[in-house]
Amino acid sequence: MIRTVITGTGAFIPDVVRSNEDFIKRSFFEENGFPNQNSAQVIIEKFEKITGIKERRYAPNEINASDMALKAGEQALLDSKIDPETLDQIIVSHNFGDINNKSFQTQNVPSIASRVKNRLKIRNPECIAYDVLFGCPGWVQSLMISDAYFKAGSAKKILLIGTETLSRIIDSSDRNSMIFADGAGACVVESIDGDDNSPGILSVCAQTHSVEEANYIYMGKSFKKCDANDHLYLKMNGRKVYEYAIKHVPAAIKLCLDKASMNITRVAKIFLHQANEKMDEEILKRLFSLYGISAATPGIMPMSIHWLGNSSVATIPTLFDMVRKGKIADQKISKGDIIVFASVGAGMNINAVCYRV
């Protein structure tokens, strides 16, 4: 039996901190182009109450998404103790590629994965490097892709990275811009011969809803109509995203657990995309209600959104790295634990992975 096992993790957390107080002098506008009638103070207080975000991290001016990807990947490789030349693939998930601080243009050629391979100085041509664009669930999707390659016998070692500099693609006049952040997380996965009790991926689930839902997260012009440029910024219909997530994510996670013949009561941790604290808590509540349980297991869902914000594809791998290495108080995982990775984002896309540590 082929099992996909995580053998090393790494993360790059930018050291530029932006607290909610840093937005106090900002002017916020509505989608119709008119100024929000509430003061910035009131907007920020409501924002923090809903999202749980108190501060977020931005990449320094001289650091791009590929730079962060490299640093997180190097950590994961060191942690796994494998020779980079033995990698069969490098998969990098992101949404916007490199966005130089002095230019608004996104750069996706060459791919981020190819840039990482170049800077790791890997000469092996059999190590293929490519990117995955799947919205915020991109890193989890890369994990699922790796599992498929392993089971097909086409790879044995893969480096997975999620990296993003959302701070460079946001509209400062849109209050939703306070959600987004920068960062990178990585892991090395390896194929092992195992049995029913071996560590590794037990089951996966992925869905795309793209009829009415396709444009819940989209690119649009600044809400501040006097903005003279034609730049497109990251936009989100927050209410629609919330309603979609709490309806579909719990069912997708349960489907994933059902495929592994696993009950929620056996799950030790759920690493859920750090998008919005209120939304994540409601997803967890509704997941447990699908099993007839009124309240979630205390401490089952580690959180980093309060101080790291929403860094898209980087939220789950950075959170997992921190918990795995004991960097979050009162959160740990142990050998044999059943854990779940699950995410939701633009597309609209959802995925989940059931994994035994």
Return the CATH number at 94.
Answer: 3.40.47.10
pLDDT of residue 48: 96
User: At residue 77, does pLDDT exceed 70?
Assistant: yes
Residues 116 and 58 in one domain: yes
Please report how many Cα atoms fall inside a 13 Å half-sphere around the Cα of residue 198, on the Cβ side: 14
pLDDT of residue 225: 76
Which one, of 160, 153, 267, 199, lies nearest residue 4 by Cα?
A: 199
Residues 217 and 259 in one domain: yes
- If one compares 9 and 31, the residue with the highest pLDDT of the two is 9
Residues 105 and 175 in one domain: yes
User: At residue 50, does pLDDT exceed 70?
Assistant: yes
The DSSP-derived string for 75-100 is HHHHHHT--GGG-SEEEEE-SSBEE-
User: At residue 217, does pLDDT exceed 90?
Assistant: yes
Residues 235 and 151 in one domain: no
Quick one: tokens of 120? 């790791």
pLDDT of residue 215: 95
Tens digits of residue pLDDT in 286-342:
999 999 999 999 999 999 999 999 999 999 999 999 999 999 999 999 999 999 999
Percent of the chain clearing pLDDT 90 (strictly above): 90
Q: Please say which residue of 141, 173, 193 terminates a domain.
A: 193
pLDDT of residue 213: 96
Residues 74 and 15 in one domain: yes
Quick one: tokens of 250? 């719990």
Structural domain including 113 reads 2-193
- If one compares 183 and 33, the residue with the highest pLDDT of the two is 183
Three-state secondary structure call for residue 119: helix
User: At residue 1, does pLDDT exceed 70?
Assistant: yes
CA distances (Å), origin 306, targets 131, 222, 322, 328: 29, 26, 14, 12
Tell me the mean pLDDT in the region 57-74.
97
Count of other CB atoms within 10 angstroms of residue 300? 18
- 91 by Cβ neighbours in 10 Å (0-12 / 13-18 / 19+) ranks as buried
Place of tokens 């910035």: 40
pLDDT of residue 100: 86
pLDDT of residue 228: 62
- Grade residue 224 by pLDDT with cuts at 50, 70 and 90: confident
Residues 29 and 151 in one domain: yes
User: At residue 226, does pLDDT exceed 70?
Assistant: no
User: At residue 66, does pLDDT exceed 90?
Assistant: yes
Tell me the mean pLDDT in the region 250-258.
98
The DSSP-derived string for 160-177 is EEEEEEGGGSB-TTSGGG
Residues 245 and 109 in one domain: no
Residues 312 and 345 in one domain: yes
Place of tokens 């690493």: 271
Average pLDDT, the chain: 95
Q: How far is CA 81 from the centre of its chain?
A: 25
Q: Please say which residue of 193, 208, 228 terminates a domain.
A: 193
CA distances (Å), origin 129, targets 89, 100, 111, 154, 189: 6, 22, 8, 14, 15
The total number of structural domains that make up the chain: 2
3-state percent helix, strand, coil for the chain, nearest multiple of 5: 35, 30, 40
Q: What angle do CA 87, 89, 348 make, to 5 degrees?
A: 145
Residues 173 and 257 in one domain: no
Tell me the mean pLDDT in the region 11-21.
97
Quick one: tokens of 203? 């089951």
pLDDT of residue 307: 97
Q: From the CA atom positions of the chain, what is the Rg in Å?
A: 20
Q: Please say which residue of 193, 221, 242 terminates a domain.
A: 193
Residues 238 and 284 in one domain: yes
User: At residue 227, does pLDDT exceed 70?
Assistant: no
Residues 26 and 104 in one domain: yes
Residues near 122 by beta carbon (within 8 Å), at least 6 away in sequence: 84, 85, 87, 90
Tens digits of residue pLDDT in 120-170:
999 999 999 999 999 999 999 999 999 999 999 999 999 999 999 999 999
User: At residue 37, does pLDDT exceed 90?
Assistant: no
Whole-model pTM: value is: 0.94
Residues 272 and 319 in one domain: yes
pLDDT of residue 97: 94
Tell me the mean pLDDT in the region 78-91.
98
